Amino acid sequence: MIRSTFALPVLIALATVFGLVVALTGDGISDTLSWIGLGCPVAAVGWAIARIPRQPRAPLLWVPTPTLVRD
């Protein structure tokens, strides 16, 4: 599915349209369903960013930065 050019885009578009329309039809559960539908395109971008391959890096030593103390 990830290989197909339009499979996931079409599913995301359908989820979006479902979310846009369902919130018009009522409150409560309809609103919750609309958040799920419209959450799909936002989640897709988050997922794509999360799976960017990380460059192998030399392990860094974490050095605590001194915090400024106001007096």
Rounded distance between C-alpha atoms, residue 12 and residue 36, angstroms: 11
Beta-carbon count within 10 A of 13 CB:
13
Residue 51 to residue 16: CA distance in whole angstroms: 23
Instruction: For other proteins, give the closer residue by CB, 28 or 66.
Output: 28
Q: How many residues bind other proteins (CB under 8 A)?
A: 37
Rounded CA separation 23/25 (Å): 5
Please identify, using beta-carbon distances, which residue of 48 and 58 lies nearer to other proteins.
48
Looking at residues 40 to 69 of the shown chain, list those that interact with other proteins (rule: CB under 8 A).
40-42, 44-45, 47-49, 51-52, 55
Report the interface residues with other proteins, using CB under 8 A: 1-9, 12-14, 16-17, 20, 23-27, 30-31, 34-35, 38-42, 44-45, 47-49, 51-52, 55
